Structure formats: structure tokens, C-alpha cells
Structure 1
Amino acid sequence: MTRPFPDDDSATLAAHLRRQAEEHRAKYVRAQSDRADKFVTSPRRVYELIRAGIRRGTMPHDQTLSEQHLIESLGATRNAVRKALQMLAEDGVLVRARRAGTSVVHDIVAVHDGEVGPRAWAGTPDEGRLTVDTLEISRISAPAVLQRLLGADTDSVLLLEQLGRMGGQPLYLRVGYCMTDATAEEFSQLIESNHTEFPPISVVHERLFGSAYGGSDYVVEAISCQERAAELLDMPVGAPVLLRELITRNSAGAPSELSYTHFRADRVAIVGSTLATTAASP
């Protein structure tokens, strides 16, 4: 057998092999680039795009989803679309039935920034869809750990527990520790008026705490749903929920309320925005 290169010409052989490897690599990159221009092949990426469309209302509740339309509008392969739809069905967002097709069972509800729940006041897409039940309201002593979390020295707070429903389906379970001198009965009356009108958070804060709304700080974590919360939210025990710790403040920066809300992770998206700021010119 004739060798393509003499045994002592190792440099020439190495150079030849490098050129072959570079040619193969360039061919692979070109193929991947051409494919990427035409098709999305990842079910996860298709899942993210469809879920975003449901959250933004471009795929409304009770609308039948066409696989072919999704393939064309997303630039995705049929296999990726089908797997993504199955993932959303497993989330409980979609229902898939032979011959009947695929439809959105419920929408993904947006809860904005420091808002207690969805923006349900007049003129918003969720107007009239939110109902809130007060499960408990009572004055309790404020233990040291609660005072540290609030950053305030107080002997007692009003404990408020509420269950929010969207379109009749459980959406969130909320416990608030309110810094107020009002009695439970007085505070309950103020709350009920807000639950008939659902005004913006600035109006709610003024009514409940008698001071201007200054903002909020919050942290969101994914946790397993415990037994009582699971029962109230109509979820399996251990199912994922979004737990949000929210500290609401007045315009002077003093805390008004510390709350913990369990949101159904399959139905809620926490939405916020950050605007770029430009440094002032000298």
C-alpha cells in the first residue's frame, strides 16, 4: 500500500489533517446556520414562545391552536411544536383532544411589580375577573422576627389572609401583616370597598394606611405547595407554587405591610420592567 505521505514528512501530514478538520467544521457550521434560518427545532424554545403568546393574549382563552399555523408563525418543525404543545398540556395550560384539536384552557395571569394581584381595575383586560375572599382578619402580637422583617418596632399588627380567584378559579393565597391602628372590623370594611372597585395600588394604600404609596420590595421563590395551601388553591400537595415576599412602603419609606403570597405557578407570571437611565451631564 502506498502511503499518501512519507513517514518522515509528519508536518505535511499534520497540515493535511488540519485542513480536512477545518473543512468539515466549516461545512457543519454552514449547515447549522442554514437550518437555524428556517427552523426552530427545540421543543423548549417553542414552548417558551407559545407560553409567552398565551400570557400576552395573542393566543386567547378558549381559542383552538392550529399546529400548522404555529409551525409557520414560529418557523418551527412539526415535531418541536407537537412536543411543546404536549408540555403545555402537562402544565394544565392547554387541553388536547383527538379531532377537537388543541385549545387554551386558561390564560397566564400577569401580576405586575408590587401589585397585590392582577390589575383588575376599570379599563384593564382583567376588569371584572378577579374576586377576593377574606379568610381571616385579626390583631396579633408582633414577635421579634416579624419586627425585624418589617424593620419597625411595633407591639401588634393586623393579620389578613385572603384567597384570590380569577374567572372563578383559585389564583393566589395571601397572608399580610399590616401596620395599622385600625380595628379588624374597620380594616375589613376598607378592604371590602377595594374588592368591589379594585382601584390602583396607590389608591388602595391611601385608603388602608392613610398615607401616600411609596413603593415596594419583593422576592419571588419557587416552593412546594403545602397541604392547606394546596387545598385552597385546588392543587396537588407538593406541586410548585411561586412564593412572593412583599414589603409595601409609604412615601416616607416606612413599611405599611409585609405579605406572603402563594401564586399558582401554572397560572401566574410575575411581570416587571426596568428602564435605562442616562447619567446627568456635568
Structure 2
Amino acid sequence: MAKNEVADLQFSVDRSSPVPLYFQLSQQLEAAIEKGRLSPGSLLGNEIDLAGRLGLSRPTVRQAIQALVDKGLLVRRRGIGTQVVHSQVKRPLELSSLFDDLEAAGQRPATRLLRLETEQATAEVAAALGVAEGTEVRLVERLRLAHGEPMAYLRNHIPQDLLTLDGGVLETTGLYRLMRSAGITLHSARQSVGACAAGAVEGELLGEPVGAPLLTMQRTTFDDTGRAVEYGSHMYRASRYSFDFQLLVRS
């Protein structure tokens, strides 16, 4: 039976604030979900009990919960109650690894290694890495999870002689962290973000139906000498993942 974890959390509202009470509560609940203090599958508990604890009206609590239901963070299940589904990871567009971003967000990242092998570079991979087509490169294919739930399907190609890769280590840490520990200085990247519909293979891996929207990212990363050290082609669940942009105004 799912655990009611809300009883262990402390919430507070500022009645003097112009921010609506329901919004204050929904923001605190959302933060608890994103930080993992309310884990997927946990029950939110009775609206009446929560309203009594906070000294709020039941309609206010109901409105706060509905706001998170609308965001896809909570779901109301008949005979069970209101339950945490998951949190959406908001990843900044900067040179960082998904593993590090998930760990920093308290998302308990895990990795399932699907493939680790040597193959000949296709025209696309060769162009990205700056090598001749047919050159042997290393392929790392992984499934990244957060709180035990599939998040992203990752395919990375790296130069054959860049560093030694161990399957067991790849399931416990991120690729960028391994590069840095090997003395590689990551300097810059060229990246594009797009979207696609899930096919049968990636849909099964990510737990999404065929045709579901997926976010895509292609990235070529360079070290401080200008050498391409990695070409990544990734797919992310659109329901769980978003990219954050910071835009600067030019005067």
C-alpha cells in the first residue's frame, strides 16, 4: 500500500501575502515532489485532514491539488486517493550531464547500460567527431532513470582512444564525470533541440506509447584543445522533461 508521506512534511502559508493561498500550497507541494520528499506513488492524504493541519478551507486545498493534477504531477485514483505521479525535470541549457543535473535536483538518478561496443562511424557520427567515415568509435547506449522511472534514452559516440570505459562504472556515474576524472577538460558544445514521435523501440524503453511526443537533443562536445570528444543523440520523455532557456536582451 502506498505511504502517506505528506504527514511527515511541514507546510506554511502567509495570509498577509498577495499570493493566493492555494497557489502558495501548490508551490510547496510541487517543490516537495521535485526534491523527492514526496516520491512517486505516495499518497497525498485526505483533503479534510490537510486543510485542518493548515487552517485552510477544503476548497482552497482542493484548488491547490487540482493545479498539480493539471500539471501532471498528481493523479486522482478511484478507491485510492490522490497520488504523486512524478516530477518534471527542468534542465538548463548548459554544458552539464543529465546524471549531474538529476543528482543536483534530488531525483535519485540511475542508469541501465544497454550497449557498450565498438562500431564504425556513420557519416553523421564521423562529421560530428571530425573523423573519417568508417573509423572505429565507441558507442555507449543507456537508459537514464529518475526515482526508478525511465527518463531518457541516451546514445553517445566517443573517439576510440579517448578513455577506457567500464560497463559497471557507467551504471553508477555520468559520462562527463568520467571524462573529467580522466583529465579531459570539457570546454564547449554545439547542440540542437527538437522533437519526434516515439517509435516501438524507444517507446518500450521509455514507457511511452508509440507516437507519444519525445524531446530530442543532438550535442557535440569539445575539449579545451578544440577536439570533439563526444557526440550524443538523446531522446527524453516530454511528460517528464523540459529545457530551460535564459535569454539576454542586446542593447
How far 1:241 moved relative to its partner? 1.3
Does 2:95 correspond to 1:114?
yes
Equivalent-residue separation in structure 1 for 2:121 and 2:87 (angstroms): 40
1:162-201 equivalent positions in 2, closer than 5 A: 162-181=142-161, 187-189=164-166, 192-196=168-172, 198=173, 201=176
Q: 1:119 is paired with a residue of what secondary structure?
A: helix
User: Residue 268 of structure 1: CA displacement?
Assistant: 2.3
Q: CA deviation at 1:109?
A: 3.2
CA distance, structure 2, for counterparts of residue 269 and residue 239 of structure 1: 15
- Residues 130-175 of structure 1, C-alpha deviations (whole Å, 9 max, x = no match): 12323342221342x433334x133422222111222322211111
Structure 1 residues 245 and 141, CA gap change in structure 2 (3 angstroms): closer
Question: Aligned to 1:212, which of 185, 210, 221?
Answer: 185
Structure 1 gap segments, 5+ residues each: 1-36, 277-282
Q: Does the alignment pair 1:255 with 2:206?
A: no
Change (3 A) 1:54 1:171: same
Return the index of the structure with the highest Cα Rg. Answer: 1
1:229 match = 202
Taking only the aligned residue pairs, the percentage that are identical comes to: 20
Query: Aligned partners of 1:67 and 1:85: how far apart in 2?
Result: 14
Matched-pair contact (CA < 8 Å) for 1:230–1:237: yes
1:60 alignment partner, one of 6, 25, 38 = 38
TM-score, normalised to structure 1's length?
Answer: 0.60
Give how far 1:115 is off: 3.0
For residues 234-255 of structure 1, the C-alpha deviation after alignment (integer angstroms, 9 at most, x for no partner) is 2100111111112211112321
Which of residues 137, 141, 147 in structure 1 aligns to 2:126? 147
Aligned mates of 2:74, 2:194 — CA distance in 1 = 25
| Per-residue Cα deviation, 1:166-212 (whole angstroms, up to 9, x for no partner) | 23222111111212326xxx8442x532433x2683x422356x522
Distance in 1 between residues matched to 2:243 and 2:46, nearest whole Å: 28
Tell me the SS of whatever aligns to 2:99. coil
Alignment of 1:240-251 (within 5 A): 240-251=213-224
SS in 1 for 2:100: coil
Deviation at 1:262, TM superposition (A): 0.8
What is the aligned length? 222
Q: Is the 8 A contact 1:226 1:237 kept in 2?
A: yes
Alignment match, 2:70: 87
